[in-house]
Structure 1
Amino acid sequence: LGDELPSVSTEIHKAVESERNLCRLRHPNIVRFLHIAQPEPATVVVFMELLDGRSLERFIDKPLDELTIRDFSEQPPVIHRDINCSNIIVCADNTRIKLIDFGLSIKLEQSVSHMSASTQAPKGTLNFMAPELLGAGESDSVQYSRESDIWAFGCSVFQMASGARPFRGNQSVYQVALKIANSGAPALPDGRSAELRDFYSRCTAKDRRQRKAARELLEHEFLRKNL
Structure 2
Amino acid sequence: MCAAKTLRLPVQLGDELPSVSTEIQRSVESERNLCRLRHPNIVRFLHIAQPEPAIVVVFMELLDGRSLERFIDNKPLDEPKIRDFNLRALLYLHSRQPPVIHRDINCSNIIVCADNTRIKLIDFGLAIKLESVSHVSASTQSPKGTLNFMAPELLGAGESDSVQYSRESDIWAFGCSVFQMASGVRPFANVGSFIEMIQLIDKRGVPALPDGRSAELRDFYSRCTAKDCRKRRSAVELLEHEFLRGGKLKKGLLSSLLGERK
TM-score bracket relative to the smaller structure: 0.7 to 0.9
Identify which of 23, 28, 48 aligns with 2:35: 23
Change (3 A) 1:82 1:51: same
**CA–CA distance in 2 between the matches of 1:43 and 1:134?**
30
Instruction: Write the distance in 1 (CA, Å) between the matches of 2:14 and 2:86.
Output: 50
Matched, 1:70 2:91: no
Count of matched residue positions in the alignment of Structure 1 and Structure 2: 218
What is the 5 A alignment of 1:1-227? 4-61=16-73, 62-74=75-87, 75-76=89-90, 77=93, 78-104=100-126, 117-141=138-162, 143-226=164-247
1:137 shift after superposition: 4.8
Which stretch shifts more, 6-15 or 192-201? 6-15
1:149-180 deviations in Å (ceiling 9; x for gaps): 10000000000000111011110101111111
- Mapped to 1, the partners of 2:204 and 2:194 lie a distance apart of 15
Instruction: Tell me which protein shows more helix as a share of its residues.
Output: 2
RMSD: 2.2
CA contact (8 A) 2:141 2:162 kept: no
Structure with larger RCO (C-alpha < 8 A, sep 6+): 2
Distance 2:54 2:227 in 1: 43
Tell me, in whole angstroms, the C-alpha distance in 2 between the residues paired with 1:140 and 1:14. 25
Distance 1:198 1:34 in 2: 38
Rounded to whole Å, the distance in 2 between the matches of 1:87 and 1:226 is: 23
Gaps of 5+ in 1: 107-115
Query: In the alignment, residue 35 of structure 1 is paired with which amino acid?
Result: H
TM-score (norm 1): 0.88
Q: Following TM superposition, by how much is the alpha carbon of 1:4 offset from its aligned partner in structure 2, in angstroms?
A: 4.2
Offset, 1:103: 2.1
1-structure distance, mates of 2:199, 2:221: 20
- Aligned equivalents of 1:143 and 1:18: distance in 2? 18
Tell me the TM-score normalised to structure 2 length.
0.77
Provide the secondary structure at the position in 1 that maps to 2:138. Answer: coil
Query: 5+ unaligned residues in a row in structure 2: which ranges?
Result: 1-12, 94-99, 130-136, 249-262
Distance 1:122 1:3 in 2: 22
% of aligned pairs identical?
83
